[in-house]
Amino acid sequence: MAASLVNDGPATATALAKRLGISATAVRRHLDALLADGAVEAAAKPPYGPVPTQGRGRPARTFAITDRGRSQFVSDYDNLATDALGFLAATAGPKAVAAFAEARAAQLEQALRDRLGNNWATLPLDQKLVGLADALTELGFSASADPAPGSTQLCQHHCPVSHVAEQFPQLCEAETGAFARLLGHHVQRLATIAHGDGVCTTVVPLSATPRTSERTPA
* pTM metric for this prediction: 0.69
| pLDDT in the model for residue 218 | 42
Which of 132, 181, 175 lies closest to 153, judged by CA? 132
Q: What is the pLDDT of residue 217?
A: 43
Q: What DSSP letter does each residue of the chain carry, written as one string?
A: -HHHHHHS--B-HHHHHHHHTS-HHHHHHHHHHHHHHTSEEEESS-SSSPPPEETTTEEPPEEEE-HHHHTTS---HHHHHHHHHHHHHHHH-HHHHHHHHHHHHHHHHHHHHHHH-GGGGGS-HHHHHHHHHHHHHHTT--EEEEEETTEEEEEES--TTHHHHTT-THHHHHHHHHHHHHHTS-EEEEE-TTTT-SSEEEEEESS---S-EEE---
Residue 138 and residue 133: Cα distance in Å, rounded?
A: 9
- Domains (ranges, CATH) in the chain? 2-70 (1.10.10.10), 77-215 (3.30.1380.20)
Cα–Cα dist 208/45, whole Å: 65
pLDDT computed for residue 216 by the predictor: 47
**Position 95: which residue type?**
K
User: pLDDT tens, position by position, for the chain (218 residues)?
Assistant: 888 888 788 888 888 999 888 998 889 888 999 999 898 898 876 555 555 555 555 567 888 888 888 877 766 788 899 999 999 999 999 999 999 999 999 999 999 999 998 888 899 999 999 999 999 999 999 999 999 999 999 999 999 899 999 999 999 999 999 999 999 999 999 999 999 898 999 999 987 554 455 554 44
